[in-house]
Amino acid sequence: MKKLEKIYLHLAIAQSGYCSRRKAEKLVREGRIKVNKETILSPEYKINSAKDTISINGFKIRAEEEKVYFLLNKPEDVLSAVSDERGEKTVIDLLPGSLGIRIYPVGRLDKDTTGLLILTNDGQLAFRLTHPKFKIIKTYSVFCEGRIEKRDLLKLERGLEIDGKKTLPAKIKNLRFDRPKNRTSLLIEIYEGRKRQVKRMFLEIGRPVLNLKRIKYAGLSLGKLKKGEFRPLGKREIAYLKEKTGLLNEKGNDC
């Protein structure tokens, strides 16, 4: 039998396709999950999916399924979500329903933000791609109002406070001011993923974002993908992401 690595319980549930990671955490804390007939209350409880049995309300689930990985060029007016109670269009609607496997976006892009989005059912990889401790770089193309002064540029790069917490260091490239249009274009690299972070950073310096597009994630780029188009990641790209996040170098993941 194939030996599988130990992973967090809530990630194993999410990987099974039963529900999202957040929903899985909630189910565990509510005492609705059993591992080998024992009720577990910690989402970070580690299981070995090769031998441990997970049940939800008495219903057994598989801890692992075939992993799939996609790269999408997200258009405007589409939610970075699996579903929406109000019936709004989500990124999952852009992929054919015949996939037959539950997948979810890695991190989020705002409804009006476009660009590169990774979708997968690999919970361990998704966790590492989004957690700031792994320092996975995301690059955004930004157009903002007005001209950015040097003092504000330093604030963006060194970090500024949002909701009482300082943002981690960022890098600004290709800074250009368009005088006739009174707007600045630039590239910003960050490895955090706080809600609406880039837009809020620019609001803090009084330069509202006019257009925001993610053009790179962990070294992957959109290439020739048009808005709304997607493609599966190649084996080399998947291996690259796993190497980048340390998954290839560990026999037992600590997530």
Domains of the chain plus CATH, in order, are 6-61 (3.10.290.10), 69-132+219-249 (3.30.70.580), 137-217 (3.30.70.1560)
What pLDDT digit, counting tens, does each position of 176-223 carry? Answer: 999 999 999 999 999 998 999 999 999 999 999 999 999 999 999 999
Say which residues have a Cβ less than 8 Å from residue 17's Cβ, sequence separation at least 6.
65, 101, 102, 121
For the record, the structure tokens of 217 come out as: 């994630």
What pLDDT digit, counting tens, does each position of 137-168 carry? Answer: 999 999 999 999 999 999 999 999 999 999 99
For the record, the structure tokens of 158 come out as: 């060194």
**Which residues form the catalytic set?**
110
Task: Answer with the residue of higher pLDDT: 116 or 193.
Answer: 116
Per-position DSSP letters for the chain, written without gaps between them: -----EEEHHHHHHHTTSS-HHHHHHHHHTT-EEETTEE---TT-EEETTT--EEETTEEE-S-----EEEEEE-TT-BSSS--TT---BGGGGS-GGG-S--EESS---TT-EEEEEEES-HHHHHHHH-GGG---EEEEEEEES---HHHHHHHHH--EETTEEPPP-EEEEEEEETTTTEEEEEEEE----TTHHHHHHHHTT--EEEEEEEEETTEE-TTPPTT-EEEPPHHHHHHHHHHTTGGG-SS---
What pLDDT digit, counting tens, does each position of 46-103 carry? Answer: 887 667 888 888 788 766 567 889 999 999 999 998 888 888 999 999 987 645 567 8
- The stretch 21-26 carries a mean pLDDT of 86
d(CA 102, CA 117): 16
The answer on pLDDT for 250 being more than 60 is: no
Say which residues have a Cβ less than 8 Å from residue 6's Cβ, sequence separation at least 6.
46, 47, 48, 252, 253
Which band of pLDDT confidence, cut at 50, 70 and 90, is reported for residue 124? confident
The answer on pLDDT for 17 being more than 70 is: no
Q: What is the pLDDT of residue 16?
A: 73
Which band of pLDDT confidence, cut at 50, 70 and 90, is reported for residue 29? very high
The answer on pLDDT for 252 being more than 70 is: no
Q: What is the pLDDT of residue 65?
A: 63
Which band of pLDDT confidence, cut at 50, 70 and 90, is reported for residue 3? very low
Q: What is the pLDDT of residue 63?
A: 60
